[in-house]
Amino acid sequence: MKARVHVMLKDGVLDPQGAAVKHALGTLGFTGVDAVRQGKVIELDLADGTPEAVIGEMCEKLLANMVIESYRVEVL
């Protein structure tokens, strides 16, 4: 089975990479971009039947920094 984990900075945490992307889009002539938040996507190939709770444990122990990031699991 496959799972996709979306990791993003929590609301209120400064996102310097997102700010840099927003600035770059403006310099390229793209208008109307109010904000950019940048995150990461992690794809996992897992044994069939792996419980979603185990994937959550992986996220909380390694894949996401729970102090400043949140995650969402998508089982494919």
For 5-63, where are the alpha helices, taking DSSP H only?
A: 16-27, 52-58
pLDDT (0 to 100) of residue 54: 95
Residue 67 pLDDT grade (very low, low, confident, very high; cuts 50, 70, 90): very high
What is the chain's percent helix, strand, coil content, to nearest 5? 30, 30, 40
pLDDT (0 to 100) of residue 7: 97
Domain 2-75 has CATH 1.10.580.10: no
pLDDT (0 to 100) of residue 72: 96
pLDDT tens digits, residue range 17-51?
A: 999 999 999 999 999 999 999 999 999 999 999 99
Element (H, E) at 73: strand 69-75
Looking at this protein, which amino acid is placed at residue 58? Answer: M
Q: What gap in Å lies between CA 14 and CA 32, rounded to an integer?
A: 20
The model's pTM is 0.84
